[in-house]
Chains A and B, each alone.
Chain A
Amino acid sequence: MAIFSVFVVNKAGGLIYQLDSYAPRAEAEKTFSYPLDLLLKLHDERVLVAFGQRDGIRVGHAVLAINGVDVSGKYTADGKEVLEYLGNPANYPVSIRFGRPRLTSNEKLMLASMFHSLFAIGSQLSPEQGSSGIEMLETDTFKLHCFQTLTGIKFVVLADPRQAGIDSLLRKIYEIYSDFALKNPFYSLEMPIRCELFDQNLKLALEVAEKAGTFGPGS
């Protein structure tokens, strides 16, 4: 999947829509017997690997699932504390899935408002009058593209650096927003978008963009 996520930020900087469409690439599930040879620690409401990197399980990976059941934060699905559970030899052998911790929705909200402020700073830093805000942010693993409409809504797409055609994808997302979110009379402006049709059409547009644009360098 070359397009990783889509964010829609309203005028005030609040996140109103978020879609992740990447398959997590680094996950490892292994069966362990007591005692666990990895050192786990609790950090930021998650159980992370602190030491003992091996077999695809790296330091910093979080516990994602125990015995196939997803873990939420530091508690298992049935409410037990993960560290306590794994400290009890009676629960072994146990199968644990590790992977890169996913962002919680609160974290995404915070990041979106931070981006909103950075976007404004981008235009203030400019030596030229009337500059736009941040349009693209590039790292070695992804490129972030941002499009702000004249009305102040921002569409942000995170994609593979080699993915082309993101500009037209951003315009297409704007059209999809103006159709399936705004023309739905039950959707209130500036509120989180919870429209099925918007989701479906957005995913379709992402597929089309991925198929059309992965050849050639640059964006």
Chain B
Amino acid sequence: MSRQANRGTESKKMSSELFTLTYGALVTQLCRDYENDEDVNKQLDKMGYNIGVRLIEDFLARSNVGRCHDFRETADVIAKVAFKMYLGITPSITNWSPAGDEFSLILENNPLVDFVELPDNHSSLIYSNLLCGVLRGALEMVQMAVEAKFVQDTLKGDGVTEIRMRFIRRIEDNLPAGEE
């Protein structure tokens, strides 16, 4: 009898279609419940935040990356390790601000929006806003306050999807012992 713990996730594969459908159902239900695109965007961000605060521990437990010492390292880890691990894509990092506190993540293809088209009456809906919440929540748990927002979106006719990440400040309260 196998002595390994009950985790078969290495071999557990789920259809990405089911994922796209699930996310789609979520967004359309929110649209029906809130009727106002801005509110839906806020809710998606909140939901993403709740996912992010939990996802970060899973990420740290599985990937064994150490603490990042500056925003550039953070950007690298997010693009090359985290996105790869969870969405199977590797966005590119561009457009660094001169102060080194802002950068853009360029996603060639976004698995959340496979098969999706935004109708005209939802032109201000940020369909993948969940991702911004996830980034914000996850980084907050490692003591970084950041702002993430979509500046380009293939659903709105742009060529690529671009998320702009801005470093606000280091969260100094409740620092784990040993970090200063």
The residues of A with any CB-CB pair to B shorter than 8 Å are 11-12, 119-120, 122-124, 130-133, 148-153, 171-172, 174-179, 182-183, 189, 201, 204-205, 208, 211
Contacts and interface: CB of A to CB of B under 8 A. Distances in A.
Nearest to B62: A175
Interface stretch (B12-20, B87-95, B170-178): B170-178
Given A150-B67, A205-B5, A120 B177 contact: yes
Given A151-B60, A178-B62, A201-B6, 19 more contacts: A119-B177, A120-B178, A130-B179, A132-B178, A148-B176, A150-B142, A151-B56, A152-B174, A172-B5, A175-B7, A175-B61, A176-B5, A177-B57, A178-B58, A178-B61, A182-B54, A182-B57, A208-B4, A208-B5
B180 interface: yes
A122 B176 CA distance: 12
A202 B7 CA distance: 12
The DSSP consensus for interface residues of chain A is: helix
A183 B61 CA distance: 13
A174 B61 contact: yes
The DSSP consensus for interface residues of chain B is: loop
Interface residues of B, number: 25
Given A204-B6, A208-B5, A151 B176 contact: yes
Given A120-B177, A150-B142, A208 B58 contact: no
Contacts of A208: 3-5
Contacts, number: 75
B145 interface: no
Nearest to B176: A152
Interface of B: 3-7, 53-54, 56-58, 60-62, 64, 66-67, 141-142, 174-180
Nearest to A182: B54
A135 B153 CA distance: 46
Given A182-B57, A208-B5, A122 B177 contact: yes
20 contacts: A119-B177, A120-B177, A123-B177, A124-B177, A131-B178, A133-B178, A148-B176, A149-B176, A150-B60, A150-B142, A150-B176, A153-B57, A175-B62, A176-B5, A177-B57, A178-B62, A183-B54, A183-B58, A204-B6, A208-B5
Nearest to A117: B177
B153 to A, nearest CB: 28
A172 B61 CA distance: 8
